[in-house]
Amino acid sequence: MKISLNWLKDYIDIDLSLEDLARTLTMLGLEVEEIRVVGLELPQKSDRSEFKITGLGWPSDYFVVAQIDEVMPHPDADRLTLCRLNDGGADLIVLTGAPNLFPYKGIGPLVKPIKVAYAREGSVLYDGHKPGYELTKLKRAKIRGVESFSMVCSEKELGISDEHEGIIILDSDAPTGMPLAQYMGDAVYEVSILPNMIRDASMVGVARELSAVTGKALRVPQRSVKSNGPNIAGKAAIEIRDPQLNPRFVLGLIEAVTPRESPYWVQRRLRMAGMRPINAIVDATNYVMLETGQPLHAFDYDVLKERANGERPTIITRPAVEGETITTLDEVRRNLDPNDILVTDTAGPLSLAGVMGGLESEIRPETRNILLEGASWNFINVRKTTSRMHLNSEAGYRFARGVHPALASWAVELCLQRMYEWGGGQIYEGLVDKYPLPPQDPQVEITVADVKRKLGITIPATEIADILRRLEFKCQVDGDRVVAQTPPIRLDIGSGEVGKADVIEEIARIYSYNAIPETDLGDDLPPQGNNLALDHEEKIKDILVGLGLQEVITYRLTSIERENRLALDRNELNPQSYVKLRNPSAPERAVMRRSLLASVLEVLEKNVHLSERLAFFEIGPIFVPIKGQQLPNEPRQLALAMTGKRHNSAWDVVEKGQLDFFDLKGVLSGLLESLHLLNVSFEPASHPAMHPGKCAQIFVNGNSLGYLGELHPQVKERYDFLSACVVLAEIDLDKLVSLTPLWFESAPVPLFPPVLEDIALIVDANIPAERVETLIRQTGGKMLSAVHLFDVYSGEKIGTGKKSLAYSMTYQPQDHTMTAAEATALRNKIVRRLEREVGAQLRDE
């Protein structure tokens, strides 16, 4: 909402600086987003400028109200005129091309001088002929032989609006010679209105808030002009079919209004508020809506009478019928449903209640007699209508948030007066007012203790009452208790405990949030527990980072097609098994992911040209719909993907090693070891995305944790990867976390020296290395503290179909120093077991 300071001052005295006013409004909950200065002095650039300030000041020495006494033709140019102008001093000749002066050209001295905004030589103002707002300085120049050094200004040149077709013609009572800033200098505050403060989408509303904090009196405008016409009785009738939808409907009547231009100050204020002035009738409805917050609607009374065959028109409000249509002012034909509310007459729909008028009964240039509507509507219905139709109107905006029905008659009365003042005519006496459902404005009881309990401060009852009275609550004080009656201007105060909270918010707001001292939480600390899922998860991240992997966080929204890339058999993923959006923002973000691996692989693909080594992991949920369950399961997963070089190259070393299956296996083994998981095994397995010969399933104590492997070459072809292989793993994080021990035992450092021994064994190529190692460990028992495979060889030397596995073993007795004989015995035992179980032969060196 754009608040003109000049206009606001009609309702309250303001002696704050431009920035202090912005600060005050912001601290009331009326956040100021921008201040646009239109004529007033621009604030000095200071160390702390809290607001975006734009606009133009009009220094008194340069910008004044002047009067044109005669408009003369230019000797050489038809499109230019020479104005004899007085700026409060001497007579001057000013050159202008303003088309709105042409009617006065060459008619001799004017009987009624034209008041204009005059800028003297040296003024800085906006260039009216260039797009946008570009500052320029008035310099002396000769135009077609006539010297020009000053100008009469358009609105654009002064920064009032975009209007630059003609010059501003001020109201005739503008005092010649008065500095322009003093006459109409202004600043516009762009204020965002919170949903529960729609009452402040009005000048009076904002003034009321300011009055509450500054203590300055609020001047509520009231109809002051007496009716000069007959009584309205019998001129129109109202029928409200559903008071829940339409609690109140008020009509006023004014006849013989001239739809002329409104006074300049009205037009200027409307423009400042972002509205386009039309004529006195339309301007009055808009002006009063901005003033009071009550949207109004003007019907052409003659059209209504005609539709009623010359009889008294009857206005009927009712829900629309399925299939009904209305063509609104914007010339759009709209299909209605029973949720929409219509204002109709006996002939059919007149307007979409609370949102937009109908085209048929619109005010026309020839309209003279006005039936003026002020009504209130159920905000939910209006909301449904505006959101379904994507219709944003000033009226819809306010009604969809709730306008108090009490405002209707006040606003109608004010508007009739404005129409009369700006367009003349005859105001009918009285209103037709149907008010079947006045709201129950809640009475809220609040005690000093209530305030203390919520805010932590003690405010005496009299001060509580004082604050609330400034917001027009009617208050009774009884000891520590205040009974506050909500004023009939707002719908945001509830009753009971909610009402108390609502009122306490108002107290805190006016008292100032920043005046409430901060305190430390003194309440009982709830029992604290552990949070293993999170703790382990964070630990896993740290371990993986230590192992050289980069964490990524990807979109949880994806598409089935994107995930399908990863499945060798594209039918594997069933569309039914996805959480799907009803209103996706883009087709590639239409479902919640089922595969974390697919997301991580996309990241790998995206970065593949950016780094010679890539190693990523992500931890996060996937989304699995469950039949018969409203919400999906969200199991957490760990996905890893790596490709490229094993180490980084340097200026003297070019890394040749490429990351492969065993690098990833090393990472996973390292992770499981760091988590102190025992009984880990990797078994050959198959996975739809992985190379059938390079894929393993991971088990811990017989529980499957997930898969690792090389990306299947056929799947890899679907991605933009380089020749290097891509390895990836998918781990059930919830399972991993559940198997991770909370604590573990450490082993003492041995007191006796270890004995190291290497053996090389020849076995059949198909014997898994893990089997050999397991046999070594089993046989070595406690005495064997470490086994390390340090070489794998296959070749002619040892015969085809064979491989050699070389292990270094560490024997570590706990209670004595091992003798050579003991070591030999242990070694022989191990070798014999291997010979027996896997047909191993000791390899001769």
Partner 1 sequence: MPANVGGTTGNKCPSLFVGTGLFFGGFMEEKPKIISELEETRDKALASLSQVNDEEALQNWRRDYLGKASQVMLTFASLGQQPKDMRALLGQTANQVKQALEVALEEHTQRVKQTALLHKVQSEQVDVTLPGRAPVQGGLHPQTQVMRRIFAIFAEMGFQVYRTPDVESDLYNFELLNIPAYHPARDMWDTFHVEGEGVVLRTHTSPGQIHAMRQNAPKPVRVILPGMCYRYEQISARSEIQFNQVEVIAVGKNITFGDMKGTLNGFVRRLFNADVRTRLRPSYFPFTEPSAEMDVECFVCAGKGCSVCKSSGWLEILGCGMIHPAVLENGGYDPRVFSGFAAGMGPERISMLLHKIEDIRYFWGNDVRFLGQF
- Say whether residue 557 binds partner 1 (CB under 8 A): yes
Tokens 């309990």 map to which residue?
Answer: 453
Which residue of 469, 589, 735, 829 would you call a contact of partner 1, by CB under 8 A? 589
Length of the chain: 845
- Say whether residue 585 binds partner 1 (CB under 8 A): yes
- Say whether residue 360 binds partner 1 (CB under 8 A): no
Tokens 């997930």 map to which residue?
Answer: 706
Q: Measure the CA–CA gap between 392 and 403, rounded to whole angstroms.
A: 16
Q: Please, what is the minimum distance in Å from the beta carbon of residue 578 to partner 1?
A: 9
Site for partner 1 in 181-200 (CB under 8 A): 194-198
- Say whether residue 505 binds partner 1 (CB under 8 A): yes
| Residue in 68, 30, 13 with CA at minimum distance from that of residue 509 | 30
Which residue of 556, 565, 718, 843 would you call a contact of partner 1, by CB under 8 A? 556
The nearer residue to partner 1, 384 or 829, going by C-beta atoms, is: 384
Which residue of 137, 365, 366, 650 would you call a contact of partner 1, by CB under 8 A? 650
The nearer residue to partner 1, 277 or 644, going by C-beta atoms, is: 644
Q: Please, what is the minimum distance in Å from the beta carbon of residue 470 to partner 1?
A: 15
Q: How far is CA 516 from CA 26, 457, 471, 510, in A?
A: 17, 7, 20, 11
Pick the piece of the chain touching partner 1 (CB under 8 A) from 273-281, 368-376, 520-528, 795-803.
520-528
Q: Measure the CA–CA gap between 486 and 438, rounded to whole angstroms.
A: 14
Q: Please, what is the minimum distance in Å from the beta carbon of residue 663 to partner 1?
A: 10
Pick the piece of the chain touching partner 1 (CB under 8 A) from 247-255, 280-288, 368-376, 517-525.
517-525
**Amino acid type, 706:** G
Q: Please, what is the minimum distance in Å from the beta carbon of residue 633 to partner 1?
A: 9
- Say whether residue 362 binds partner 1 (CB under 8 A): no
- Say whether residue 1 binds partner 1 (CB under 8 A): no
Taking each helix axis as running N to C, give the angle between helix 203-214 and helix 280-292, from 0 to 180 degrees, rounded to the nearest 10: 30
**Amino acid type, 6:** N
The nearer residue to partner 1, 66 or 619, going by C-beta atoms, is: 619
DSSP character at residue 609: T
- Say whether residue 504 binds partner 1 (CB under 8 A): yes
The nearer residue to partner 1, 48 or 79, going by C-beta atoms, is: 48
Q: Please, what is the minimum distance in Å from the beta carbon of residue 95 to partner 1?
A: 39
Task: List, in sequence order, every residue forming a beta bridge with 474; answer none if it has no partner.
Answer: 485
Q: Measure the CA–CA gap between 1 and 25, rounded to whole angstroms.
A: 13
Instruction: Report whether 152 contacts 95 (CB < 8 A).
Output: no
The nearer residue to partner 1, 172 or 531, going by C-beta atoms, is: 531
Instruction: Report whether 155 contacts 164 (CB < 8 A).
Output: yes
- Say whether residue 575 binds partner 1 (CB under 8 A): no
Q: Measure the CA–CA gap between 742 and 233, rounded to whole angstroms.
A: 85
- Say whether residue 632 binds partner 1 (CB under 8 A): yes
Q: How far is CA 108 from CA 81, 112, 176, 799, in A?
A: 13, 12, 20, 123
513-535 residues labelled b (16+ CB within 10 A) or e (exposed): eeeeeeeeeeeeeeeeeeeeeee
Site for partner 1 in 779-838 (CB under 8 A): none
- Say whether residue 660 binds partner 1 (CB under 8 A): no
Instruction: Report whether 840 contacts 834 (CB < 8 A).
Output: yes
Q: Measure the CA–CA gap between 720 and 645, rounded to whole angstroms.
A: 17
Instruction: Report whether 418 contacts 269 (CB < 8 A).
Output: no
Which residue of 129, 142, 570, 647 would you call a contact of partner 1, by CB under 8 A? 647
Q: Measure the CA–CA gap between 511 and 513, rounded to whole angstroms.
A: 7
- Say whether residue 379 binds partner 1 (CB under 8 A): yes
- CA torsion sign for 316, 319, 320, 322 is negative
- Say whether residue 626 binds partner 1 (CB under 8 A): no
Which residue of 13, 91, 497, 720 would you call a contact of partner 1, by CB under 8 A? 497
The nearer residue to partner 1, 659 or 805, going by C-beta atoms, is: 659
Pick the piece of the chain touching partner 1 (CB under 8 A) from 117-125, 420-428, 553-561, 744-752.
553-561
Q: Please, what is the minimum distance in Å from the beta carbon of residue 35 to partner 1?
A: 11
322, exposed or middle or buried, with CB in 10 Å at 0-12, 13-18, 19+? Answer: exposed
Q: Measure the CA–CA gap between 690 and 707, rounded to whole angstroms.
A: 9
Site for partner 1 in 44-63 (CB under 8 A): 47-52
- Say whether residue 613 binds partner 1 (CB under 8 A): yes
Which distant-in-sequence residues (6+ apart) come within 8 Å of 475 by Cβ?
Answer: 464, 465, 468, 469, 482, 483, 484, 485
The nearer residue to partner 1, 410 or 578, going by C-beta atoms, is: 578
Which distant-in-sequence residues (6+ apart) come within 8 Å of 321 by Cβ?
Answer: 336, 338
The nearer residue to partner 1, 451 or 489, going by C-beta atoms, is: 451
The nearer residue to partner 1, 137 or 582, going by C-beta atoms, is: 582
Q: Please, what is the minimum distance in Å from the beta carbon of residue 727 to partner 1?
A: 15
The nearer residue to partner 1, 164 or 388, going by C-beta atoms, is: 388
The nearer residue to partner 1, 108 or 195, going by C-beta atoms, is: 195
Site for partner 1 in 673-702 (CB under 8 A): none
- Say whether residue 722 binds partner 1 (CB under 8 A): no
Which residue of 10, 26, 59, 120 would you call a contact of partner 1, by CB under 8 A? 26
Site for partner 1 in 456-495 (CB under 8 A): 456-457
The nearer residue to partner 1, 583 or 746, going by C-beta atoms, is: 583
Site for partner 1 in 523-552 (CB under 8 A): 523-529, 531, 533-534, 538, 541-542, 544-552
Q: Please, what is the minimum distance in Å from the beta carbon of residue 176 to partner 1?
A: 39
- Say whether residue 584 binds partner 1 (CB under 8 A): yes
Neighbouring CB atoms inside 10 A of 786's CB total 14
- Say whether residue 579 binds partner 1 (CB under 8 A): yes
- Say whether residue 662 binds partner 1 (CB under 8 A): no
Q: Measure the CA–CA gap between 244 and 233, rounded to whole angstroms.
A: 26
Which residue of 84, 454, 474, 665 would you call a contact of partner 1, by CB under 8 A? 454
- Say whether residue 151 binds partner 1 (CB under 8 A): no
What's the 3-state SS for 792-810?
A: EECCHHHCCCEEEEEEEEE
- Say whether residue 404 binds partner 1 (CB under 8 A): no
- Say whether residue 651 binds partner 1 (CB under 8 A): yes
DSSP character at residue 511: H
Pick the piece of the chain touching partner 1 (CB under 8 A) from 358-366, 462-470, 606-614, 820-828.
606-614
- Say whether residue 79 binds partner 1 (CB under 8 A): no
Q: Which two tokens stand for residue 461?
A: 């009852």
| Residues in binding contact with partner 1, number by CB under 8 A | 104
The nearer residue to partner 1, 60 or 674, going by C-beta atoms, is: 674
**β strands within 110-260, DSSP E:** 114-119, 124-126, 135-137, 141-143, 146-148, 151-152, 169-170, 186-192, 237-240, 248-255
- Say whether residue 654 binds partner 1 (CB under 8 A): no
Which residue of 14, 16, 27, 560 would you call a contact of partner 1, by CB under 8 A? 27
Q: Please, what is the minimum distance in Å from the beta carbon of residue 358 to partner 1?
A: 24
Q: Which helix (H) or strand (E) holds 605?
A: helix 596-607
Which residue of 90, 111, 653, 747 would you call a contact of partner 1, by CB under 8 A? 653
Q: Measure the CA–CA gap between 666 and 669, rounded to whole angstroms.
A: 5
Q: Which two tokens stand for residue 840?
A: 């191993």
Q: Which two tokens stand for residue 230?
A: 């007959």
